[in-house]
Amino acid sequence: MTFGESVAVEAPPRTTSERITRMLTKAPIHIGLAIVGLIWLLPTVGLLITSFRPASEILSTGWWEIFAGRLSFTLDNYQQVLGSQGMLNSFINSVIITVPATILPVFFCALAAYGFAWVDFPFRDSLFLIVVGLLLVPIQMVLIPLVELFASMGVYGQFTGLWIAHTAFALPFGIFLLRNFFITLPRDLIEAAKIDGASTWNIFRTVVMPLSVPALASFAIFQFLWVWNDLLMALVFAPRPNGLPMTTQVQNLLGTFATEWHLLAAASFLIMVVPLIVFFSLQRYFVQGLLAGSVK
Amino acid sequence: MSTATAARESAPDVAESRGPKFLQGWNMAALIFIGPAVLLLAVFMIYPAIRTVILSFDDGLGNYVQLLTADPRFLSLRWPPGGSIFNNVLWLLFYTGGCIVIGLIVAVMATRVRYERIIKAIVFLPMAIAATALGVIWRFVYSPDPDTGLINAILGVVGVDPISWLGNATFVNTALIIAGIWGSAGFAVVILSAALKGISSEILEAARVDGATEGQIFRRIIVPMLSLPISVIAVTLTINVVKLFDLVYIMTKGGPGNASNVIAVQMYQQFSARNFDYSATVAVVMLIILIPVMIFNIRRFRSERVVA
């Protein structure tokens, strides 16, 4: 699903007067949508502008003075948060955390989803129902025992622990999403490959995987954003003090510099920049993934 | 079960396997494909969840009695009512309701203009943003200093003194819920807009021919036909509300005092304070609240035939 073109319900206006009449009858809609657009854009735009303003000026003039053309801009804030405030290090940590915590779930979920869709074994449907039931288990339900478990495994406060926790929590949703996609693949195709003597593994690898790229992409994007934007798991499991991702780093900055907007604004945009790039470049998969993920 | 196993063993997919009785019918393929996921779920999700339940009963029923009857931070029934579970109910009513109402209005308006795609993308955009960044964006909007905070600057123009939106127990929940709606309304817009396109234009035309006003069409035709997508959105946002953590933790940490606390934040606070059995109790309460939602969803998946 994308944001979809509107269905053309009306014929194009033929004359100037018709055009004007239509503009007037639709005026309330245009005004309403303009207000909606402003409310949804201004908060983000305001912080974006602020992230490029000198610290000394932020507290004396509002960012909206940009419309009067009176503001000056600088890259100092980004330089400062990336350097002395550790956001560059945190950016790298976010990448270190997110990449394996996306690849591993996609791999394990694809395997299991194929098993639930096309391999026959006892209790298959009951097991799948249990997996779906696990979708809603909140992270809070496992935090304390996981800390103990990771400590006994020697991975508490290490990236490995965070990867394991994110992978385990991604499984119910990923299996659910991919299994529902896999069962829509034509049975004949899989039967034909079987008759040609392909092993279950080869059918999975050479028939099912290539046909499932859109579903895998939607899930991968959803999972990537989920981990990239995660705060709670990182607060508990991320390596301290040098392995924190950007979300926890910004939370730390809020504690120290609650009103240093030049730092907070720049740091927040560093978190947002990767998701925004994904949003604009892969919008279709992005929306699909997020809508499907709403069951989580 | 033995007949089911026998039937399955005759299926061409199942290699003959001899072993312990409970493994009959299982084969290498099944183990390779679902084994890793089942193992990970059992060790890192199911086992810890069971441990959490056991931990919550460390003190018999004591933790539950304490939480439900004697913890004003969880539920305070004195006037005005408060506590984290009460705030979750406020979120449930106003955040869920607000998202659906705004989603409906924007979706209906957007289908009638050429820039539909753009307006929907703008409203959906916050869904991509980390709740952490969203929290900073709105802390900035609500800043008590009229030279930095947009809302107090606007109020200043009409002569209202600046208000500390997040520092005042009267306003803090409203302020947070508005930020929450801003973050999630795009979800409702996209779902409802897709559903609107499924309503046939013939029905709408027939109603217009019969002399129905636009208002009547909206109330009598569009809203009833959207009841299923609306219930799906309501359930989804309910899950969001129960699990709500990042936004509140970033914007207020549940303050001032306990005024804006929610259960997920309270659980984390107890966890950080090393009150492990008590925080486990809060976690179990979260799970119990989610169970009806889980049942609703499984029923829905079944009716959509996506679950066997």
Residue B295: what pLDDT?
87
Q: For the segment B109-127, what is each residue's pLDDT rounded down to a tens digit?
A: 998 888 999 999 999 999 8
> Do residues A227 and A101 lie in contact, with contact meaning Cβ atoms separated by under 8 Å?
yes
Query: Is residue A6 less than 8 Å (CB to CB) from chain B?
Result: yes
Per-residue confidence at B308, pLDDT binned at 50, 70, 90?
Answer: very low
Per-residue confidence at B299, pLDDT binned at 50, 70, 90?
Answer: confident
- In angstroms, the CA B13 to CA B9 distance is 8
Q: In this prediction, what percent of chain A has a pLDDT beyond 70?
A: 93
Angle at B276 between CA B274 and CA B277, to 5 degrees: 145
> Do residues B95 and B177 lie in contact, with contact meaning Cβ atoms separated by under 8 Å?
yes
Per-residue confidence at A84, pLDDT binned at 50, 70, 90?
Answer: confident
- In angstroms, the CA A233 to CA A20 distance is 56
Longest dimension (CA), chain A: 78
B178: β partners: none
Residue A52: what pLDDT?
92
Per-residue confidence at B305, pLDDT binned at 50, 70, 90?
Answer: low
**Lowest-confidence range among A146-155, A200-209, A230-239?**
A200-209
Q: For the segment B175-215, what is each residue's pLDDT rounded down to a tens digit?
A: 999 999 999 999 999 999 988 888 877 888 888 888 888 88
Q: How far is CA A58 from CA A84, A255, B291, in A?
A: 20, 19, 48
Of A2, A120, A225, the CB nearest to B128: A225
Structure tokens at B234: 């309501």
Match 């807009």 to its residue by tokens. B193
**More confident position, B289 or B29:** B289
Residue B20: what pLDDT?
58
B82: β partners: B76
- Say what the pTM is: 0.87
> B157-177: b or e for each residue (b if 16 or more CB lie within 10 Å)?
eeeeebbbbbeeeebbbebbb
Structure tokens at B165: 């939106």
Highest mean pLDDT among A17-21, A39-43, B9-13: A39-43
> Do residues B164 and B85 lie in contact, with contact meaning Cβ atoms separated by under 8 Å?
no
- In angstroms, the CA A95 to CA A169 distance is 19
Per-residue confidence at B4, pLDDT binned at 50, 70, 90?
Answer: very low
Interface of A with B in 28-67 (CB under 8 A): 29-30, 32-33, 36-37, 39-44, 46-47, 50, 58-62, 64
Phi–psi pair at B82, nearest 5 degrees: -165, -165
CA distance B79 to chain A (A): 30
B76: β partners: B82
Mean of per-residue pLDDT scores for chain B? 87
The answer, yes or no, to whether the previous bond of A145 is cis (omega within 30 of 0) is no
**More confident position, A59 or B10:** A59
**More confident position, B150 or A1:** B150
Q: For the segment B41-98, what is each residue's pLDDT rounded down to a tens digit?
A: 999 999 999 999 999 999 889 999 999 999 999 998 888 889 999 999 999 999 999 9
| Complex confidence, ipTM | 0.88
- In angstroms, the CA B11 to CA B26 distance is 12
Per-residue confidence at B2, pLDDT binned at 50, 70, 90?
Answer: very low
Structure tokens at B56: 């919550």
> Do residues A115 and B33 lie in contact, with contact meaning Cβ atoms separated by under 8 Å?
yes
Nearest to B265 by CA among B87, B67, B98: B87
**Interface with B, mutate which of A6, A67, A127 (most B CBs under 10 A):** A6
Q: For the segment B232-282, what is each residue's pLDDT rounded down to a tens digit?
A: 899 989 999 999 999 999 999 998 999 999 999 999 999 999 999 999 999
Structure tokens at B161: 């003194």
A251, amino acid identity? Q
